[in-house]
Each structure stands twice: as C-alpha cells, then as structure tokens.
Amino acid sequence: MKQYDKYKEADIVWLGRIPDHWFTLRAKTMFDKQNRDIKADYDVVTCFRDGVVTLRKNRRTTGFTESLKESGYQGIAKGDLVIHVMDAFAGAVGVSDSEGKGTPVYSVCTAKGEYNHYYYAHIIRIMAQTGFIQSLYRGIRERSSDFRFDVFGKQYLPIPSKDEQDQIVRYLDWKVSLINKFVKAKKREVALLKELKNAEINHAVTRGLNPEVPLNDSGIEWIGQVPEDWEIKNFSQYFTFGKGLPITKEDLRENGVEVISYGQIHSKLNNSIGLNESLIKYVSPFYLDTHAQSLLNRGDFVFADTSEDIDGSGNNIFINTTHPVFAGYHTLIIRAQNLECPEYYAYLFLSIRWKRQVQSLVNGVKVFSINKSILKKTKLLTPPLFEQREIVNYIVDKEQKINKAISDIEREIDLVKEYKARLISDVVTGKVDVRGIVVPDFQSESEVIEATEEEADDQTEIN
C-alpha cells in the first residue's frame, strides 16, 4: 500500500510521524463529556475490551458483578463515543450501537465539530495498544487505569480532514468485515472439529470400539444399550471425597505450590482431561503444613462445585502429575480407589452423556452447584480393564490428531488478527494512504468475542 507524499513529526510520543497536511489538537477542544438523564425502560450498555459498545444482553447476561443500586448511571445515545475510565488501557473504547444507560465509570463523549466518532475510537484504542494510556498510571493496580475525561482532554490527537476520516472508517469497515468473515469461517471449522472429538469420546466410553459386540439394555435412560460384558457401578464404589483449600482469589500468588480452583476448571483453554499449563496458579507453601489433606494425588479428579450455567456442571480436571498440587476454592476432590486405568474414567467424566447425568440432578437459577450427594447418585460404565486401556489409547490418538488440526487453524486465526491490528494502526495513523481507494458495496461483518474474566467490572460505582 502506498504512503503519503510527505510527513512531519507530530510530537506525540505514541504516534510518531503524521501526513504533512494533518494537524493536532487537544481532545478537550474536540469533544464534550455528556451527562444525560436515563429513562425507566433503558437497558444497561456495556463497553467491552474489543471495542464493542452494546447492550449487555446482546453479548452475555452472566458473569458480571451486579450493583445493588444504579448510583450515578447516565444515559448513552446510539453513536456516542464511550471510553471506559478504568479499562481504556485494554481497549475498552468504542461507539455505542444502542441507546441505554451506563455506569459512571464511562466517559460518554460527543464531537464538538467535524470529527468522526468511529475514527477517534480507533485512535484511542491505538493509544491503548501502544501502552501509552497505562504509562500515565504507573501507581494504579495492574490491569487498570484512571483515564478520566480531564486526562483524556489533555492528550493531543491527529486531525485529518473530515472527508479523510470518513474514508478511513469506510475502508477499514470493508477490510475488517472481510477479515471477520474469514475468521468466523475458521472458527466454525474449529467448532466442527471439537464436535467430532466429543462424538469420538462419547461413543468410545459408552459403546466401546467393537461395532459387532452384542449390546444389552442397561435399564438406565441416559446410558441406553451397553456392550454385554460391561458393568454398571455406583460412583461411590470407586471414589471417595475431599475438600479444597479454604482460600479466595486474594490468596493466589505468582509462585509457590500449584493450585487448581473452579475458574481454571471451567476455562475453555482446557482441551482434554488435564489442565492447560497456561492456567496454572500458585499458593503459599505454608499450606503444605496446614492443609496437606487438600493435596491432589496422581489419578485424582478435581471438580468445580459451582457453575454459572448448567452446561458447566460436572466440569473437572484429571490429575496426571506427581508433584504437589492443591485443590483450591469452590472445588470437590474425587479420589480414585485402586483404579488401574483412571484415565478411562477421566474420559468418561469428560463425555457429554455422563455430564448430562450430573446436570439432571443439579438445581439452580443463576448458579448451579454440585456436591457429594449428587455425584454419589451417578452411575459409571465399567468395561473390562483391557478394554479400558484400548479405549484410552484410541481416544488419545484421536485427540492428538484433532487437537493438532485445531491448533493449526487457531494459529491461522491469530496471524490474521495480527494483520488486522496492524492494518488498522497503519491506516488510522496515516502510515498508509487510502484516500484514492474505491470501497465497494459490502455486507458488514462483526466479530463477536465473549467477555473474559479480565473484563473490568462495568458496574463499579464512582461517587
């Protein structure tokens, strides 16, 4: 892509050179901070880290800290530029696609003159991506900032002409839509591969590997027919129970003894029976002397005792290590009793059909909990030992191949996303010139990203 003919220094630390015909102004001369009244029927608008500003119900409805009262809430109009004061450093800046109400930790802004809100949402997100916003707040806790409107107002921003701003936004909408369409297609491929893996596991642990084996009716609805030489056992015949550490998130540290708590168990990064290494957390070695009963042994399982949705009920991790690991908060320890192939039961517990058995026994509305009595009511399909080992070997081989295919696609997605970020940065900061490019008619394609645990609490009140 071509550059502009001539550049000049902008004297803006995070920006560098800009096209010669652009100029700069302080944000306070360009934007006003609004403080609109709210209406009784307004829904909550949330500003997410991926730059989407939308009604909370459009993204998800669980996982947020709810305010007991909506103190200081303000009206947000469709088209407003919204900056999350505490989370701007992570990209929580965008243009609202809806009318509603928002927490007082948002700066709701409107342009005073000929300024495109979408263009300046890109600009502020680039300020965040360069680390500039976080650099203003070295004393603030990690993963937070205090980017209030008066601080934002002091910052210099680049000013292309309004026509050029509009062209940049149109061009990026087109290019980003093409990229998002590609990413969505790739994500569908990943979803299909995960469905295939789940189907392989479900079939192997409930029907075995021999399609010719005679089947008998188990007499249990969720099981149906099973191979005639398989047994059905009660959960308590093979497992006993233990409790995790009486800790909270505040007890976690950067090193020490490994610990597995319910959030790690529920993570989508887990792609098999064990814990993804990137999720490892630690607690003080002090607990080795005081709570040795909460240590996990090879062959044990650690279940999350609560879930925000019914589908997460029964999620668990298999322990396949010999070094010290604790079960953490909101967990149940399930200790295997003299099992020669605990990996088989790990895959059984991973299967959708076994988890549905657990889910049928769970009660809840916003939170779904499991306990010892629920697990004791479940049944276990038990093939002969030699067949358990054959099933595990079969599943491990299938998993490795499917996980490799998934990993290759996800790496492709990551590379395309890196290209998208670079393209946006180069275009909105004037590193490339898109003025003469004809943007065709196109169908806008958004990329919906679920909010993560690291999303700042949009319900935080500042009085």
The answer to whether residues 331 and 260 touch, using CB atoms and an 8 Å cutoff, is yes
Q: Specify the range with the lowest mean pLDDT, choosing from 16-25, 131-140, 304-313.
A: 131-140
Predicted confidence (pLDDT) at residue 168 exceeds the cutoff of 70: yes
Same domain, 154 and 241: no
Same domain, 363 and 244: yes
The mean per-residue pLDDT over the stretch 332-359 comes to: 94
**pLDDT level of residue 317 (50, 70, 90 thresholds):** very high
**pLDDT level of residue 61 (50, 70, 90 thresholds):** low
The mean per-residue pLDDT over the stretch 284-313 comes to: 94
In total, how many domains does the chain have? 2
Same domain, 161 and 246: no
Structural domain includes residue 443? no
Token pair recorded at residue 260:
């597995």
Average pLDDT, the chain: 91
Structural domain includes residue 201? no
Same domain, 240 and 348: yes
For the ranges 44-48, 56-60, 144-148, the maximum mean pLDDT occurs at 44-48
* Dihedral Cα 202, 205, 207, 210, nearest 10 deg: 110
Same domain, 176 and 277: no
Same domain, 162 and 275: no
- The three-state secondary structure class of 84 is strand
Structural domain includes residue 2? no
Q: State how far the Cα of 280 lies from the Cα of 275, in Å rounded to an integer.
A: 8
Same domain, 253 and 153: no
Same domain, 233 and 317: yes
One-letter amino acid for residue 31 of the chain: F
Structural domain includes residue 396? no
Predicted confidence (pLDDT) at residue 220 exceeds the cutoff of 80: yes
Block residue for tokens 């668990």: 316
The pTM of the full predicted model, rounded to 2 decimals, is 0.83
**What pLDDT does 195 receive?**
95
Same domain, 242 and 377: yes
> pLDDT by residue (tens digit) across 226-283?
999 999 999 999 999 999 999 999 999 999 999 999 999 999 999 899 999 999 999 9
- The three-state secondary structure class of 408 is helix
**What pLDDT does 364 receive?**
81
Predicted confidence (pLDDT) at residue 64 exceeds the cutoff of 80: no
Same domain, 215 and 172: no
Same domain, 138 and 282: no
The mean per-residue pLDDT over the stretch 145-164 comes to: 94
CB atoms within 10 A of CB 305: 20
The mean per-residue pLDDT over the stretch 4-17 comes to: 94
**What pLDDT does 143 receive?**
56
The mean per-residue pLDDT over the stretch 11-29 comes to: 95
Structural domain includes residue 86? yes
- Which of 382, 407, 441 corresponds to the end of one domain? 382
Q: State how far the Cα of 262 lies from the Cα of 251, in Å rounded to an integer.
A: 14
Q: What is the residue range of 315's domain?
A: 209-382
**What pLDDT does 363 receive?**
84
Question: Which ranges constitute the DSSP H helices of 238-351?
Answer: 262-266, 287-290, 342-350
**pLDDT level of residue 138 (50, 70, 90 thresholds):** low
* Dihedral Cα 285, 288, 289, 290, nearest 10 deg: 100
- Rg of the chain's alpha carbons, rounded to an integer? 27
**pLDDT level of residue 284 (50, 70, 90 thresholds):** very high
CA angle 253, 284, 367 (to 5 degrees): 65
> pLDDT by residue (tens digit) across 411-439?
999 999 999 999 999 999 999 999 999 99
Predicted confidence (pLDDT) at residue 460 exceeds the cutoff of 50: no
Structural domain includes residue 387? no
> pLDDT by residue (tens digit) across 365-380?
778 999 999 999 999 9
Structural domain includes residue 323? yes
Predicted confidence (pLDDT) at residue 454 exceeds the cutoff of 60: no
Same domain, 165 and 242: no
CATH code assigned at 347: 3.90.220.20
Structural domain includes residue 274? yes
